[in-house]
Every structure is written in structure tokens, then in C-alpha cells.
Amino acid sequence: MPRYLIGRVGSAVLVLFLLSLLVFAMVRLIPGDPVAAFVDPSNPDPVEIARLRAELGLDQPFLTQYVQWLGSAVTGDFGRAITQPQEVSALLGSRIWVSLELAGLATLWGVLLGIPAGVLSATWAGRAGDLVLRVLSFVFLATPPFAIGTVLILVNSTTLRAPLIGYVPFSEDPLGNLQVMALPSLLLGLVLAAVVTRYTRGSLLEEFSADYVRTARAKGAGASRLVVRHALRNALVPVSTVVGIELASLVGGTVVTEAVFALPGMGSALITAIRASDYPVVQAAVLLLGLVYVVVNLVVDLLYPVIDPRVRVVTR
């Protein structure tokens, strides 16, 4: 297990290094000049432009810029934003927690709704209940998030009337924070629940045809015992992979949801930085999102032996 852990951590570090190099190179291809925001477009001063480039370090060779940026990034210093008078770490530090909370709550909704729905769909395979659950999962997967969000807002306005505007950190007002985050996380959670339902159903149906399940059924095990004590634990191995990947992608894939509900998350910050050609913010945001993705996948890999003890044979 230690050797397996060292190998996975080493792979994660290599992926992050390649990601940092890739994003540092590609961000230079973004159309627009980052110093344009500081120069009068009707009368650009070449001397002032050269001074700004030198101040921002944009006049140095590519490799020199990369090494300096990477060395600072390792210590958590991503420099200053170009278009905003603020440190990048401070700018993204508050926003990433919003996205992490939103993704975490959405994953919780997805698991709480998706796994039971998948179990019911598998046990009702071929019946009306199975058809209804499959159709609902398809609808949530095919419907654009902004359309589902609009429906949730309309339903909320006539029923619960939960607050939707005015984000407040959890540390300041836990109840107010959860009230504001309930509908956005439910919106993302419904889509994730549809994915989890389909994977849970397919994985359970595959386990139901396994020899150990047929043996347990022949010994007189009831349907609930077959699912809970035997098949479900093995079926959750591929489901856990899907949940981990979806959780990691949700952290940076919540742009539409953050826009609909006016949440100050990473997605909106990244889009704004790309439009303004704010190199330091784009580089830091993509690297942080990549770090979250790699760490979540690493945790999922390490949880395999806990979910299914048979995996331990492979990791030795």
C-alpha cells in the first residue's frame, strides 16, 4: 500500500507539473493584450506600454517567466492580478471555497437521490417504476442547467420562498448560507443524481447476474439482503469513480449555475479573467482546479480498498 500510495502521489505531481506548463503556454494564446486595460486605446504610448510590460514581467523570455511563476506558485504566491488591484491568492481564495461548497452540496444531493433511485430501478428492472426512473434520469441529463434552474426558481417563488440572492459565508451565517446554496446545489445535484442512478442501476444488474448472488438467492436470501449485504457494496466501486470525477468537474464546471444564482465562485472568476486577458488569474485558477481534480481522483483511488476489500490484492 505505501508503494501504491507513493506511485499515485508521484503521478499526481507529474500531472500537475504538465498542467502548469500547458496552461502557462496556452494562456499566452488568449486574444487580447493584458496591458490594454492600462493604456488609452485612442493614443497608445509605446514607452508606457514597454514600462508596463517590464513591470508585469511580460518582456522576459517564456522559460524565465514560467520558472519564476512556478517557483512562486509552489509557495502559494500567484502574484498580483493585472486588471484588479488585488493579490491573486486573495482573489481566488474566497471564491474557491464557494465552488467547493457548491460542488460538495451538489454531490451530496446526487448521492442521496441517485443511489436509492438506482437501487430501486435495478430491483424493478422491466417494470413501470424502472421505466419512470430511467425517463426522469434521461430528462435531467438532456435538459440544460439554466432551464432546470429557471423551473426551480419559479417553484421556489410559489412554495418555499427561500432566499436566492445575497451570498453569505458559512462561517458568518450557517443557516443563511445553506438557504442560499440549497437551490443551486439541488440544480447540480439533480443532474448528478441522474448520472449516479444510471450507473448504479447498470452496476447492480451486472452484480445480480454474478455467481455469488445466485448462490445467496438459492440459500434463501431475501431481495433486500441480496442488495444491501451482497450486491450493493461491489456495485459501488464503479459508482464511486463516477461520483469522484463528477465532484472534481463540478468545482470548475458551475459557471452557468453561478451566473443564474449570482454566486461568487471560481467559474465566474475564470470567465472574467479570460475575457480581460488577466494571465495571473487564469493560470492560478486553472492550476487550482486541476489540483482539486487530481486530489479528488487520488482520494477515490485510495478509497477503493475500503469499499471493496478485493482491491487490496491489486494494490500489494
Which residues contact residue 267 at a Cβ distance below 8 angstroms, ignoring those fewer than 6 apart? 99, 252, 253, 254, 255, 257, 258
pLDDT of the chain along its 316 residues, tens only? Answer: 677 778 778 888 898 889 888 888 887 776 666 666 666 666 666 777 777 777 777 778 888 888 888 888 888 888 888 777 788 888 888 888 888 888 899 999 999 999 999 999 988 888 899 999 999 999 988 888 778 878 888 888 888 777 777 778 888 888 888 888 888 888 889 989 999 999 999 988 888 888 777 787 777 776 777 777 777 877 887 888 888 888 877 876 777 788 777 788 887 788 888 877 788 888 888 888 888 888 888 887 777 666 666 665 454 4
Per DSSP, the residues of 94-124 read HHHHHHHHHHHHHHHHHHHHHHHHHHHHHHT
3-state secondary structure of 87: strand
Query: In Å, how far are 100, 212, 246 from 191, measured between CA atoms?
Result: 17, 33, 10
Domains delineated in the chain: 90-279 (1.10.3720.10)
* Nearest-angstrom CA–CA distance, 104 and 288: 16
List phi, psi (to 5°) of 164.
Answer: -115, -15
* Nearest-angstrom CA–CA distance, 3 and 6: 5
